[in-house]
Amino acid sequence: MKLYILSGASRGMGLAMASQLLAVDHLVLGISRRQNAELQQQADAAGCPLLQWPLDLADPLPAAQALQDWLAGQDPQRFSHACLINNAGVVTPPGPIDRVPLAELSSALRVGLEATVLLSSAFLAATRGWAADKRLLNISSGLGRRAMAGSAPYCAAKAGMDNFSRAVALDEEGRTGGARVVSLAPGIIDTDMQAQLRSGDPSGFPDQPRFAAFKAEGQLDSPAQAAAKVLRYLSRADFGSTVLGDVRDA
């Protein structure tokens, strides 16, 4: 059986990935603020194992501890593959950081970066002795690799995710049975996050017209299209050979 652990699995591309991963020989564990009833119905109808943990990753420590404890209780021989996909992310209202409430800034960084670090640590620690093919996929963004005005918290979280991934990959290289690590830019996707950027005030978010044009000109992938591209990348035989990846490289 293959194990897929996915954060932010209740909507957007995360939901699409969870849906596409459902299979009788896959155990999908979704971690999100709330469960998705339609996803559960899909899994039940097809007889596919699915767990949904309703946990808020703005407080990531309990989620990471729960994951580590759960993995520690599994039979290491049960899974031929084990994968953690850190997908959850939050965009603050577009504009300079001094216009964003401090609590929102804190939440965005906890979900986008701290949760990635803690969940990754829990996953790697608990599966250290497993013989399974282990993969760690962090869903990054082009904004982690180039700055954009009005989006400093998101840029910071994704840039941190990228360099975190590079450092963890170096750690795993030196370990027997180490996990392969990729931080992947998934392209531009028609999600609530994109809608929030399109609706930003150009006075504080000068790239707003560009994001509006993405939608108007049909340049956005649907969540299902983006999810399929990401999962194809995840299944590549050379996954991990390049730590900072982009779906358009495939």
Residues marked as catalytic: 154
User: CA–CA separation, 57 vs 32, rounded Å?
Assistant: 7
How crowded is the C-beta side of 7, counted as CA atoms within 13 Å?
30
Tokens of 120: 């990754």
Tokens representing residue 162 in the block: 């990228």
How far, in Å, CA of 197 to CA of 95, rounded?
10
Phi, psi of 85 (to 5 degrees): -115, 110
What is the SS3 assignment for 93?
coil
* β-strand partners of 245: 184
Residue 70, exposed/middle/buried by CB under 10 A (0-12, 13-18, 19+)? middle
Q: What is the largest CA-CA distance in the chain?
A: 56
> If you ran DSSP here, which 8-state letter would residue 100 be given?
S
Q: Are 83 and 2 in contact (CB under 8 A)?
A: yes
Q: What are phi and psi of 172, to 5 degrees?
A: -70, -25
